[in-house]
Amino acid sequence: DIQMTQSPSSLSASVGDRVTITCRASQGIRNSLTWFQQKPGKVPKSIIYDASSLQSGVPPKFSGSGYGTEFTLTISSLQPEDFATYYCQQYDGHPFTFGGGTKVEMK
Amino acid sequence: EVQLVESGGGLVQPGGSLRLSCAASGFTLSDHYMDWVRQAPGKGLEWVGRTRNKDHSFSTEYGASVKGRFSISRDNSENLFYLQMNSLKSEDTAVYYCVRGYNGFDIWGQGTMVTVSS
């Protein structure tokens, strides 16, 4: 199975900060990577697919990059509604696997 | 509006069975890959399985922890998608989401809770 490792597992940031989350795959997955945002008690929401494509309706403060084994999710200017847990997931090979999540908390 | 609505969750004893349903609306189910994803209480996300679209004969794939116990099917004429869960274990306790596998995994249902306990 392809292992997905997210870092950091948690971070503290302030409104207006630029935040970057990293996801590493144990083997190459091309650009078959997606990012989700999940708030407590809520359904996960897709924000990025194919590593860098913005999901419909998602604001452009979110961006994704990477190919192969290393990927990043960047929030250009953190807003109060962005405090949440973020997960990456690969869909290049079965079984599809998720990273362990990164919790973005208010400093 | 594109929407997925799950049903069928509940309390079941270890070793029991349960069938979850997912009603799709706003799109043609047979055109799309569909997935099940679960989340145990306080834990991360786990992919359960997938059925491909009509172009790929609705073939299926499963995660290792459920393979041989769970099966995915669909009734495209009714726009329904199912997860049959057999030989349930306590570690299957989770919220189960049906998800459309388009542009990654773009649309999620609200989830249905399955609790496996005696």
Q: Pick the closest to residue B81 from B63, B96, B94 (CA basis).
A: B96
Query: Measured between beta carbons, which residues in chain A are less than 8 angstroms from residue B26?
Result: none
* pLDDT, position B91: 98
CA closest to B98 among chain A residues: A43
Q: What is the pLDDT of residue B89?
A: 98
B27 in A contact zone (CB under 8 Å)? no
pLDDT at A105: 97
* Residue B34, Cβ density class (10 Å: 0-12 exposed, 13-18 middle, ≥19 buried): buried
Q: Which of A32, A24, A29, A10 is closest to A68 using CA atoms?
A: A29
User: Do B111 and A43 count as a contact with CB atoms less than 8 A apart?
Assistant: yes
Mean pLDDT of chain A: 97
pLDDT tens, position by position, for chain B (118 residues)?
999 999 999 999 999 999 999 999 999 999 999 999 999 999 999 999 999 999 999 999 999 999 999 999 999 999 999 999 999 999 999 999 999 999 999 999 999 999 999 9
Report the share of chain A in percent with pLDDT over 70: 100
Hey, which residues does B24 pair with through a beta bridge? B4
Looking at the partner chain, which of A43, A50, A89 has a beta carbon nearest the beta carbon of B108?
A43
Tokens of A28: 């190459």
pLDDT digits (tens, 9 = 90+) for A40-93: 999 999 999 999 999 999 999 999 999 999 999 999 999 999 999 999 999 999
Enter the DSSP assignment of B67.
B
Q: Which of A96, A97, A98, A103 to mutate to test the interface with B (most CBs of B within 10 A)?
A: A96
CB contact under 8 A, B97 and A43: yes
